[in-house]
Amino acid sequence: MIGRGRKFPIGRACLYRRRGCSGQVLVVLLLGITLLAGLIFYVVNVGAQVNRRLAMQNAADSAAVSGSAWMARSMNVIAGNNVAVTRMLALVPHLDSYPLATKMTYEEVAAWETGLADQLDRGIPDDWMRDGLESLRLRMAGQRDILDAIDNLFNRSGFDVASLTNWSIHGYTGPTPHGQLWQAAECLDEFSQATALSAGMLSQANAARYGQSDYAETAFITPVLPELPAHRTDFGDLEKPVKKGIIPDREYPHRLGPYDRLFKWRDYHYSGVYEEDQWVDGVPGHGDIRGGGGNVNIGGRRQGGSAHGYTTNPDGHMSHRLVGKTLTGYSVYGPYSWMMRRVGSYSSSELPDTYFYHNYKQIADIKLRYMWGDQTLKDVHYPQWVTDYPQAKSQVAGGAQVTRTMFYLVEIRSKHPKGSAAWLSEGSYVTNGERPIAIWVNDWSDPAEWLIPQIANYIWEDRYNYETTEDWDIDIHKQYDSNGDPIWQKVYRVDQYVFGGIDVGGEAEVTNPANYCEICDDRSNLPAPILMDTAAGDYDMAQPHHDLGVRRSVFTYLGVAGRSSEPMVWASRFGSGNPFGQVVAVSQAEIFNTTSWDLWTQDWKTQLVPVTQWSDWVGRMADGAADASATAGLIEPETVSDFAEYLGRFDEQMVGEMLQH
């Protein structure tokens, strides 16, 4: 009982008051923690959703680019194989021509070199001629040695070029083709066919794999099963590319092919603009010529230098000097011509005194015609040389058929006559003695009938003179008479002919490396290109828009990627309003070729472009759902149908605004 006037201590009273108000702050604290947690969950879920959205856009981009890139890569593989096949086939007649062309040229040059050596052993009356013929013999020996090495490889080493070049080889068993070049071309053809057949499936697989690697649960491209817009043709479509570098579908203006656009294998054509025709003076330092002319006049093919003077009309000559030119166009050439030009370039520099290029080209051209033309076997002339003059006359007398007669010609043009004290004095003459002319004339030509003296064994000499007003090469300068007219001065010519031999050879058969049988061989084994299927749609350059017609339906792809949109935390409270339950992104890519729109030019590329024609994509996706069953479980038809249905619920105008914002 508390008595009146009793007081409690202050501390105890305060204690009772604290007990009465405890728990108020805790409630506020719990409320704050709950709100803060909710805010954190909200931020986490929103951030996760944004990240999913960005990730799905990356996945859609990856699917579109990787799927279309595989198709572009497949088209480049086919283009590369088409070109490689043309090179294989162009190599067949080239390589197959080496044995015969090398053998006949080697034997010919070896005979010429032997004939020159024998002539030098018999004796040469003049040192300057001896030096020239020895120089020519050394050149012949060097070229003979080059041909000897090639001939040894192709004809004497056991190497059989037919094992590379012939479609069918005698004695071989097993299915054709037998030759390795034909087999390689066939393998490339089969590789192209497999590439074309698998391109659609692998494009879809590539799209799904790359999309899923970017965290998509579902990724694919539309068309669901892309088709490469191409078809295999036949062997005949390889003829123009091999020969002329013209691809079969060149008639389309946007298809020029690799030989034209990439390799630049072109011959340019010009039209010239000439100044008005006028008479002009002769070559400076060489005056007009009158009179002269030797007793021997033989034409034929000539090889080597000449000491002949500048012959001009006494009154001058007509000038047609080119003062301008205009490019009028160009023609394209193919791998066969490209190879032939390489052989020709080598021959002109390393085998200039031989008929190698002539023989080689003649044989290779026949073999090329066998591949796409007349399969009737052809013959070529096989030379056989008799270089001893008495033996040659004996064979002619015996009725031998002479195809060609060869001579070596050494010329001297001099200010002084032969036999004078100043003959061959320094600066007074020019000669081709360092490089005599080799002359081949048709049929038999007997120098004993030329009515010129024979100065040594199998050497004849023709002397004559003519007049000129000046010839600085031999120290003849203009002189004038009292009337101021030029004085005509004599020039002395000595032409010495050395018998080189006669060709009494016969014919040799040119074998056919393309010896497939029209009846017994399976013609489908012959290599063939895969060409763009022009029947697949509109390639009209009048409407070249990249997003219309066949260019859209075949060369444009839509990448689709989706992932669950379920919140990361507290899904029951932060559920998505998306009825599809996934974050979905789309991306459009296109395949293009800026060089030449064909399956010969390895320049197909892909790039991302803005998404267009939304309803068309949705329709193509829905129509292609059934194709998903052919992807071996890669994509389920229901998945494609679900995505098509979901995306189809978006208004096209709204989609356009969303994609273009």
Per-residue pLDDT, averaged over 97-102, amounts to 98
> How distant, in Å, are the alpha carbons of 306, 308, 383, 506 from that of 401?
31, 33, 12, 9
| 593-628 pLDDT tens trace | 999 999 999 999 999 999 999 999 999 999 999 999
> Residue 161 has what pLDDT?
96
Average pLDDT of the segment spanning 429-458: 92
Q: Which domain holds residue 487?
A: 282-314+385-504
Q: What pLDDT, on the 0 to 100 scale, is given for residue 209?
A: 94
Q: Extract the runs of DSSP E, i.e. beta strands, from 103-223.
A: 218-222
Q: What is the pLDDT of residues 168-226, one digit of tens each?
A: 998 888 888 999 999 999 999 999 999 999 999 999 999 999 999 999 999 999 999 99
Average pLDDT for 337-344: 98
Does 9 map to a domain? Answer: no
DSSP-derived secondary structure letter, 177: P
Is 316's pLDDT higher than 80?
no
- Confirm if 90 and 336 have CB atoms less than 8 A apart: yes
pLDDT at residue number 3: 47
- 427 lies in a domain? yes
Using the structure block, give the residue that is written with the tokens 């360092």.
434
Q: What average pLDDT does the segment 265-282 reach?
A: 69
Q: In this predicted structure, what is the pLDDT of residue 306? A: 83
- pLDDT reported for residue 267: 95
- Confidence check: pLDDT of 283 > 50: yes
pLDDT confidence of 442, banded at 50, 70, 90?
A: very high
Average pLDDT of the residues of the chain: 87
In a domain, 461, yes or no: yes
End-to-end CA distance of the chain: 84
| Better-predicted residue by pLDDT, 80 or 3 | 80
Number of domains in the chain: 1
| Tokens 């190698």, residue located | 356
Contact between 525 and 558 under an 8 Å Cβ cutoff? The reply is: no
* C-alpha–C-alpha distance, residues 538 and 527, integer Å: 28
Question: Of 36-45, 170-179, 417-426, 559-568, which range is least confident?
Answer: 36-45
The pLDDT of residue 49 is 67
Q: DSSP for 402-463?
A: --EEEEEEEEEEESS-TTSTTTT-TTSEEE-TTSPEEEEEES---GGGS-S-EEETTEEEEE
Note whether residue 433 is domain-resident: yes
Q: Facing residues of 332 across strands?
A: 266
Residue 349: which residues within 8 A CB-CB, separation 6 or more? none
Residue 450 lies inside a defined structural domain of this protein: yes
When pLDDT is averaged across residues 147-155 and rounded to a whole number, the result is: 97
Range with lowest mean pLDDT among 13-27, 185-199, 421-435, 639-653:
13-27
For residue 23, what pLDDT is reported? Answer: 67
The least confident of 312-326, 405-419, 526-540 is 312-326
The predicted pLDDT at position 160 comes to 94
Give the percent of the chain with pLDDT over 70: 85
Residue 549 lies inside a defined structural domain of this protein: no
Task: Report helix, strand or coil for 285.
Answer: coil
Gap between the Cα atoms of 513 and 371, Å rounded: 8
What would the mean pLDDT of 535-563 be, rounded to a whole number? 81
Answer whether residue 498 is part of any domain: yes
- Give pLDDT, residue 313: 45
| Residue 177 placed within a domain | no
Range in 2-6, 179-183, 256-260 the model is least confident about: 2-6
Give phi and psi for 553, each to the nearest 5. Answer: -70, -25
How many angstroms separate the Cα of 397 from the Cα of each of 19, 52, 507? 152, 101, 21
